[in-house]
Amino acid sequence: MHDGSGRIVVQNLSKRFGEVNAVQNLSFTVEPGSVTGFLGPNGAGKTTTLRMLLGLVTPTSGTATINGRPHSQLGNPARVVGSVLENEGFHPGRTARNHLRVYAAAIGVPDRRADEVLGLVGLGSAADRKAGGFSLGMRQRLALATALLGDPQVLVLDEPTNGLDPEGILWLRNFLRSYAREQRRTVLVSSHLLNEVEQLIDQVVIISQGVTRYYGPLEQLRKSQQSRVLVQPADPSALVKALQDNGISGVSPTPDGRVAVAGSSVQQIGDIAAKAGIAVYGMQEEHADLERMFFQLTQGQYAGAPGYPPPGYPPQPQFQGPPPTGFPPQQHYQQGPPSGPQQQQQYWGGPQQ
Ligand SMILES: Nc1ncnc2c1ncn2[C@@H]1O[C@H](COP(=O)(O)OP(=O)(O)OP(=O)(O)O)[C@@H](O)[C@H]1O
């Protein structure tokens, strides 16, 4: 039997496909009561991880459990975990209601549950329409309705905002938040775009090239953003030296002749420049946005984004620490050389071994 905790635990999980290290020694925990974002750029290993969690791919090593059990040992898994993976197929000639009734029968829930979940996802009025004529957003809702059939304790959604318009995203946000918070359920949503799920999530797991880069509360990540000051001095190298002589680290010249200073105030920099007799023509304070932080944590996976992020930003040495070991929420940074380039290819379909 499973422990009924609603907890997802991924421990030292790895998956190799031939030469490709799709997932490497990934560890994180997802607790009930909040929505956790599972973020990383294309090809980072998100779908592979979710498929291992759902028993569709066999890990090379490590474990992924729900309620303390691997998916294969959950008994009636649809009652424990509902999932929406990308490219879910529907029989185009089947109505939404009939599609759901087929699944309801398969997992042993009564027919009336089909109408209940259609109501939950706002598709009640489309119950008798054929799924083949549904828009992308409606298909997403129908997929979510299918995942909800077993009234699961845990919801796992792969890129759920794909195809949703802003109103649909708002609806999804409200739905997932109340599902997680009011009913103390576990919700894990993957995305390659932080800004698409930023409003949706409370916790975040960020991976890149199959490795955990950060996990913990999103709020903590927000707080860890540092501002930088861009200074336009008459003599950039003299200013760099003066700042360093005054114990200010995180100083770097930018290609346009300015000096980027992280972690110091405009006044501090101005005072040092004045004391050193260096004329300053302008100073500009910049605040990092979350998206830039996400890029910084995952860079290396993106090829060909010249000049971004700007040099000297954000300051490098702060992302260090022990590899993630568990929860309750604390911020965890892991820095380590990714093991090498990975091919960008996709797979979809049935179980992969
Ligand atoms: N069946 C497979 N055979 C070979 N390589 C695979 C297979 N499945 C995934 N990969 C590789 O594993 C890596 C991770 O892929 P995965 O689909 O898990 O990433 P992702 O983070 O979900 O990406 P996306 O955001 O584009 O969906 C990629 O390099 C991918 O090419």
pLDDT in tens, 231-249: 999 999 999 999 999 999 8
Least Cα distance to 154 among 329, 351, 5, 350 occurs for 5
Residue closest via CA to ligand 1's atom 26 equals 42
Q: What is the pLDDT of residues 110-168, one digit of tens each?
A: 999 999 999 999 999 999 999 888 888 888 899 999 999 999 999 999 988 887 888 88
Q: Which atom of ligand 1 is nearest to the CA of 57?
A: 1
Position of tokens 């820095």? 335
Distance separating alpha carbons of residues 22 and 29, to the nearest angstrom: 19
Could you tell me how many helices (H) and strands (E) the chain has, helices first?
A: 11, 14
Whether residue 322 is predicted with pLDDT greater than 50 in this model: the reply is no
Position of tokens 């894990």? 188
Residue closest via CA to ligand 1's atom 28 equals 43
Residue 340 alpha carbon to ligand 1 centre in Å:
15
Residue 127 near residue 53 (C-beta atoms within 8 A): no
Q: What is the pLDDT of residues 44-63, one digit of tens each?
A: 899 999 999 999 999 999 99
Residue 349 alpha carbon to ligand 1 centre in Å:
12
Residue closest via CA to ligand 1's atom 6 equals 17
Residue closest via CA to ligand 1's atom 5 equals 17
Residue 16 alpha carbon to ligand 1 centre in Å:
10
Residue 232 alpha carbon to ligand 1 centre in Å:
44
Q: Helix H segments across the chain?
A: 46-53, 77-80, 96-107, 112-120, 136-148, 166-181, 194-197, 218-223, 236-245, 266-275, 290-298
Q: Is the ipTM of this complex over 0.90?
A: yes
Q: What is the pLDDT of residue 344?
A: 23
Give the length of the chain.
353
With the most atoms of ligand 1 within 8 angstroms of its CB, the residue from 345, 348, 352, 353 to mutate is 345
Question: Is the N-terminal amide bond of 328 cis, ω within 30° of 0?
Answer: yes
Residue closest via CA to ligand 1's atom 31 equals 345
Ligand 1 neighbours, Cβ below 6 Å, are: 17, 20, 22, 40, 42-48, 192, 342-345, 347, 352
Residue 47 alpha carbon to ligand 1 centre in Å:
7
Whether residue 346 is predicted with pLDDT greater than 70 in this model: the reply is no
Residue 344 alpha carbon to ligand 1 centre in Å:
7
Cα end-to-end distance, the chain, whole Å: 25
Distance separating alpha carbons of residues 347 and 48, to the nearest angstrom: 9
Six token digits for residue 41: 């750029």
Domains and CATH numbers, the chain: 8-223+321-333 (3.40.50.300), 227-287 (3.30.70.100)
**How many CB atoms neighbour CB 212 within 10 A?**
24
- What amino acid is encoded at 186 in this protein? T
Distance separating alpha carbons of residues 190 and 91, to the nearest angstrom: 25
Q: Which residue has the higher pLDDT, 241 or 208?
A: 241
Question: How would you class 59 by CB atoms within 10 Å of its CB: exposed for 0-12, middle for 13-18, buried for 19 or more?
Answer: buried
Q: What is the pLDDT of residues 310-319, one digit of tens each?
A: 333 333 322 3
